[in-house]
Amino acid sequence: MQIVTANGAHIPALGFGTFRVPGPEILKILPLALKVGFRHVDTAQIYGNEAEVGEVLKNSGIPRGDIFLTTKVWVDKFADKDFIPSVDESLKKLKTDHVDLLLLHWPKSPVPLADQIGSLNALVDAGKVRHIGVSNYNTALMAEAVRLSKAPIVTNQVEYHPYIDQTAVLSAARSYGMSVTAYYLMADGRVPKDTLLQDIGARHGKTAAQVVLRWAIQQQGVIALSKTSTESRLAENFAVFDFSLSAEEMDAIHGLARPDGRIVNPGNLAPAWD
User: What percentage of the chain exceeds 70 in pLDDT?
Assistant: 100
Burial of 166 (0-12, 13-18, 19+ CB in 10 A): buried
Burial of 266 (0-12, 13-18, 19+ CB in 10 A): exposed
CB-CB contact of 130 with 101 (8 Å): yes
CB-CB contact of 237 with 211 (8 Å): no
Taking only the tens place, the pLDDT of each residue in 57-88 is: 999 999 999 999 999 999 999 999 999 999 99
Domain boundaries, given as residue ranges, for the chain: 3-186+218-228
The whole-number pLDDT of residue 1 equals 85
**Average pLDDT estimate for 15-29:** 97
- φ, ψ dihedrals at 54, nearest 5°: -60, -40
* Residue 60: closest CA among 33, 24, 23, 42: 33
User: What percentage of the chain exceeds 90 in pLDDT?
Assistant: 98
- For 126-246, where are the alpha helices, taking DSSP H only? 139-148, 167-175, 195-204, 208-217, 231-238
Taking only the tens place, the pLDDT of each residue in 24-34 is: 999 999 999 99
Query: Which CATH number is 3-186+218-228's, of 3.40.140.10, 3.40.50.300, 3.40.30.10, 3.20.20.100?
Result: 3.20.20.100
Taking only the tens place, the pLDDT of each residue in 138-180 is: 999 999 999 999 999 999 999 999 999 999 999 999 999 999 9
* Residue 178: closest CA among 222, 216, 144: 222
The whole-number pLDDT of residue 258 equals 97
Interatomic CA distance for residues 44 and 49, integer angstroms: 8
* Residue 21: closest CA among 190, 221, 230: 230
Residues acting as catalytic residues = 47
How far is residue 79 CA from its own chain's centroid? 24
Interatomic CA distance for residues 154 and 80, integer angstroms: 22
- Record the pTM: 0.97
The whole-number pLDDT of residue 191 equals 98
Interatomic CA distance for residues 151 and 170, integer angstroms: 20
98 is in an annotated binding site: no
Q: Is the pLDDT of residue 122 over 90?
A: yes
Element (H, E) at 56: helix 50-59
Task: Give the contacts of 26 (CB within 8 A, at least 6 positions apart).
Answer: 18, 49, 52, 53, 56
CB-CB contact of 70 with 41 (8 Å): yes
* Residue 71: closest CA among 99, 108, 92, 93: 99
